[in-house]
Structure 1
Amino acid sequence: MLWDAEVKGFALRITPGGAKSFILDYRAEGRQRRITIGAWPDWTVAAARQTAKDMKREVDLGHDPMGERQAQRDAPTVQEMWERYGRRRTSGTSALSSRSRTPTRSSARTTRSRASA
């Protein structure tokens, strides 16, 4: 790794195969973390360095960029949400099945008054 003299924790990682990527080493919640910023030449040194500075600022404010990235990966996909909806719908536990489907007198009155306005 080639460590940057300007931004502590920022480096260029070079794999045995010759691939180059920019990384940032930092500590969050007592854990040593390493996050990949991007590959060279897709990222310039200046852009990667600025991103590293921004990430370090977020870490100083108590955020964990790697933890946030992991949380996004762990979030359910649209497919998973659709399947969950289908299971609830067929089992009769959807939010709609627990509500009355007949309008109340007050909602019917509101609908009529809006239509005439």
Structure 2
Amino acid sequence: MKPRIITLKGKPHQVVISYSDYLELLELRNKHKKVKAIMSHGIEIPEEVTRRINKGESPVRAWRHYRDLTQTDLAALAGISLTLLSLIENSIRDGSNETHEALARALDIPVGLLDKL
């Protein structure tokens, strides 16, 4: 990587790098995010789940899709109403700690993974 530093009034102002170097930096940043998630929760988050969450999908919905569950299935497994699950997945309601714990058990993940990445 050979960056070009542009100065303004004698101080570094901008850095210009090649497009391939830029793509490499993006890849390293994404790997860092993944490592951070692994370290904080002790498990590897599947790329599909990370991608869905980064696109703005709720963690509950992302994990539900990854586990190949319908909303009806997950609501039944967690012992909550279908309406509440829909509200949580659409970020209209947060749900209680108890609800998050029930969803995490049903999805077989640590409750902390239901937070945004």
User: Scaled by the length of structure 2, what TM-score is found?
Assistant: 0.24
User: Scaled by the length of structure 1, what TM-score is found?
Assistant: 0.24
* Structure with the largest fraction of strand: 1
Structure index of larger Rg: 1
* Structure with the largest fraction of helix: 2
